């Protein structure tokens, strides 16, 4: 057996700090005079470092993983009988392969623990993302409920607006929920407007001046909507009306009133 072959297994265990006793002393004396074995030792240590880093970072080169694990596996596979015979032939007692298996088990535990840490981090990130999506869904559902409330609530006022002077082809429906100050207005067949003009919806209270309830322009089919304009809290509506105003709206109605409707 050549000098390099004799110390091949010892180099792997020395790199893992698993070599002790006379074997360690003998190897260290050999390393002092053998540049080739010193180079092999540094490569094995580098392989071990890459293998350890792989539990928390990028995958190590296949060469590093194979070199180090092959060396450990070769030592672990040596039978007790072969170890005794080798010790008699070389005059050096061989170490127990249980020590190597113990080191290998330690590496396995470290790798397993790092994997669990990664999985736990991924689960936390997934939970945070799911929580954010759930919060967004809750907000969207609340918005839908608020829009639908004046339409489906039994106590909501349902008011139909019709043309005052022309045939009742244009039509508007106001769904007003007083206790929530919620208003949804839907219009159809509305006549087109002059340039820079818009329709304005008015809430006519039981007492007091008309209250602006939204400016709108119908589309090409004459359809338009107004959803939850800002209104005073708890204002009781006697009627709703529509006038034609400037695009920016007005604080008081400009006559004539083109559509009006009272509570049903």
In the chain, what are the domain boundaries?
A: 3-116, 157-262
* Angstrom distance (rounded) from CA 29 to CA 45: 19
pLDDT surpasses 70 at 33 = yes
**More confident position, 141 or 50:** 141
In this structure, whether the domain defined by 157-262 belongs to CATH 2.60.40 is answered with yes
> What pTM, to 2 d.p., does this model score?
0.45
257-262 β-sheet, strand order: 211-216, 197-205, 237-246, 257-262, 157-163, 171-177, 182-188, 224-227
* Angstrom distance (rounded) from CA 223 to CA 228: 17
* Angstrom distance (rounded) from CA 125 to CA 118: 11
Distance of CA 165 to the CA centre of its chain: 58
The mean-pLDDT minimum among 16-25, 164-173, 249-258 falls in 164-173
pLDDT of residue 137: 87
* Angstrom distance (rounded) from CA 129 to CA 121: 12
- The tens digit of pLDDT for each residue in 153-183 reads 777 888 878 767 665 589 999 999 989 889 9
pLDDT of residue 108: 54
């Amino acid at each position: 057996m050549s000098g390099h072959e004799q110390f091949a297994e010892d180099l792997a265990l020395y790199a893992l700090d698993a070599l002790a006793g006379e074997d360690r002393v003998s190897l260290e004396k050999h390393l002092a005079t053998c540049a080739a074995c010193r180079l092999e030792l540094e490569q094995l240590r580098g392989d071990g470092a890459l293998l350890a880093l792989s539990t928390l970072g990028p995958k190590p080169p296949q060469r590093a993983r194979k070199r180090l694990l092959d060396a450990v596996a070769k030592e672990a596979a040596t039978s007790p009988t072969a170890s005794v015979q080798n010790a008699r032939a070389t005059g050096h007692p061989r170490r127990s392969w249980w020590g190597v298996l113990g080191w290998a088990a330690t590496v396995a535990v470290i790798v397993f623990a790092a994997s669990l840490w990664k999985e736990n981090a991924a689960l936390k990130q997934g939970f945070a993302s799911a929580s954010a999506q759930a919060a967004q869904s809750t907000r969207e559902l609340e918005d839908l409920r608020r829009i639908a409330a004046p339409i489906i609530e039994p106590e909501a006022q349902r008011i139909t607006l019709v043309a005052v002077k022309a045939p009742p082809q244009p039509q508007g429906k106001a769904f007003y929920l007083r206790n929530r100050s919620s208003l949804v207005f839907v219009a159809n067949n509305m006549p087109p407007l002059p340039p820079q003009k818009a329709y304005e919806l008015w809430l006519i209270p039981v007492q007091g001046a008309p209250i602006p309830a939204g400016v709108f322009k119908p589309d090409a089919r004459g359809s338009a909507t107004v959803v939850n304009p800002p209104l005073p809290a708890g204002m009781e509506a006697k009627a709703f009306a529509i006038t034609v105003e400037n695009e920016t709206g007005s604080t008081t109605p400009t006559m004539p009133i083109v559509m009006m409707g009272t509570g049903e």
